[in-house]
Amino acid sequence: MSKKQSGNEDSIAELGLLRQIRRRAGAMPLASALSLGIGDDCALLDPGRGKEIAVTTDLSIDGRHFRLDWHPPEVIGHRALARGLSDLAAMGARPLAAFISLGVPKQLTVTDKSSPTWVSRFYDGLVTLAEQYDTPLAGGDLAESPVALADIVLVGAVRRGDALLRSGARAGDGLYVTGWLGGSAAGLEKLARLDRTSQRRPGRILTTGRPANGVLQRHFYPQPRIEQGDWLVRHGMATAAIDLSDGLSTDLAHLCEESGVTAEVEADAIPVALSANLEQALHGGEDYELLFTAPKHQQVPHVMAGVPVTRIGRIGGVKNRPQITLLAPDGSAKPLEPRGWQHFTQRRPFDGGATAGPE
Amino acid sequence: MSKKQSGNEDSIAELGLLRQIRRRAGAMPLASALSLGIGDDCALLDPGRGKEIAVTTDLSIDGRHFRLDWHPPEVIGHRALARGLSDLAAMGARPLAAFISLGVPKQLTVTDKSSPTWVSRFYDGLVTLAEQYDTPLAGGDLAESPVALADIVLVGAVRRGDALLRSGARAGDGLYVTGWLGGSAAGLEKLARLDRTSQRRPGRILTTGRPANGVLQRHFYPQPRIEQGDWLVRHGMATAAIDLSDGLSTDLAHLCEESGVTAEVEADAIPVALSANLEQALHGGEDYELLFTAPKHQQVPHVMAGVPVTRIGRIGGVKNRPQITLLAPDGSAKPLEPRGWQHFTQRRPFDGGATAGPE
- Please write the tens of the pLDDT for every residue from A299-351: 999 999 999 999 999 999 887 778 999 999 998 999 999 887 544 444 343 33
Per-residue pLDDT band at B267 (split at 50, 70, 90): very high
Q: β-strand B94-104 against B137-144: which pairing, if any?
A: parallel
pTM of the model: 0.87
On chain A, the residues whose CB falls within 8 A of the CB of B8 are: 250, 253, 337-339, 342
Degrees to nearest 5, angle at CA B283 with B278 and B289: 90
Decide the pairing of beta strands A240-243 and A290-294: antiparallel
Answer yes or no: do A167 and B40 touch at CB < 8 A.
Answer: yes
Write the class of the CATH domain B9-159.
Answer: alpha beta
Q: Which of A36, A139, A149 lies nearest to residue B57, judging by beta carbons?
A: A139
Which DSSP letter does residue B331 get? S
10 Å Cβ neighbour count for B110? 12
The secondary element (H helix, E strand) that includes residue B228 is helix B226-234
B201: pLDDT strictly greater than 50: no
Report the topology of domain A12-159: 60s Ribosomal Protein L30; Chain: A; (3.30.1330)
Tell me the DSSP string of B170-219.
Answer: -TT-EEEEES-BSHHHHHHHHHHHHHHH--SSTT-S--SSS---HHHHHH
Q: CB–CB of B146 and A144 under 8 A? A: no
pLDDT tens per residue, range B142-163: 888 999 999 999 999 999 999 9
Would the CA dihedral through A182, A186, A187, A191 be positive or negative?
Answer: positive
Q: Is the pLDDT of residue B8 over 70?
A: no
Nearest to A87 among B42, B54, B347 (CB): B42
* Domain spans of chain A, in order of start: 12-159, 166-335
Instruction: Looking at the structure, give the CATH architecture of the domain made up of residues A166-335.
Output: Alpha-Beta Complex (3.90)
pLDDT confidence of B354, banded at 50, 70, 90? very low
Angle, CA of B150, B28 and B227, to the nearest 5°: 75
In the prediction, which pLDDT does A192 show?
A: 86
> Nearest by CB to B11, which of A106, A158, A345?
A345
pLDDT tens column, B45-74: 888 889 999 999 999 999 989 999 999 999
* ipTM computed for the complex: 0.85
What are the start-end ranges of the H helices in chain A?
12-26, 73-91, 118-132, 183-197, 214-220, 226-234, 248-259, 278-283
* Cross-chain Cβ contact A109/B14 below 8 Å: no
Find the Cα–Cα–Cα–Cα dihedral A160, A166, A168, A169, rounded to 10°.
150
**Backbone dihedral angles phi then psi of residue A200, each to the nearest 5 degrees:** -65, -60
> DSSP of A253-299, one letter per residue?
HHHHHHHT-EEEEEGGGS-B-TT--HHHHHH------EEEEE-TT--
Identify all chain A residues contacting B347, using CB atoms and an 8 Å cutoff: 10-11
Write out the H or E segment, with its range, that includes residue A316: strand A307-316
User: In CATH terms, is domain B166-208+216-335 a member of 3.40.50.170?
Assistant: no
Q: State the DSSP string of B116-160.
A: --HHHHHHHHHHHHHHHTT--EEEEEEEE-SS-EEEEEEEEEEET
